[in-house]
Amino acid sequence: MSVARVTEISSTSTKSFEDAIASGIKRATATLRNVRSAWVKEQQIKIEGDNIVEYQVNMMITFVLEDDDKADIA
């Protein structure tokens, strides 16, 4: 049996949504173990004048919790 946890993160980029996603995943996998999937929940852009200056994504990251051999679940 495995148990997973879902956490929400936000990531930004001045290049693209794809770059924001890649940066967010890279950071999440550096901190969390057993990352299995991500769902892009929201996308936003920041505009200054008539230019897009920032891309932002909010993602739900799913990671599997490690087994605790000391836990006795009956």
Average pLDDT over residues 49-71: 90
Three-state SS string over 2-70 comes to CCEEEEEEEEEECCCHHHHHHHHHHHHHHHCCCEEEEEEEEEEEEEECCEEEEEEEEEEEEEECCCCCC
User: What does the pLDDT read at residue 2?
Assistant: 87
Four-way CATH pick for 4-64: 1.10.10.10, 3.40.190.10, 3.30.1660.10, 3.30.2320.50: 3.30.1660.10
pLDDT by residue (tens digit) across 6-49? 999 999 999 999 999 999 999 999 999 999 999 999 999 999 99
With CA atoms as reference, report the closest residue to 59 among 47, 32, 74, 41: 41
Please give the model's pTM, rounded to 2 decimal places.
Answer: 0.84
Q: How confident is the model at residue 67 (pLDDT cuts 50, 70, 90)?
A: confident
Residue 73's pLDDT band (boundaries 50, 70, 90)?
low
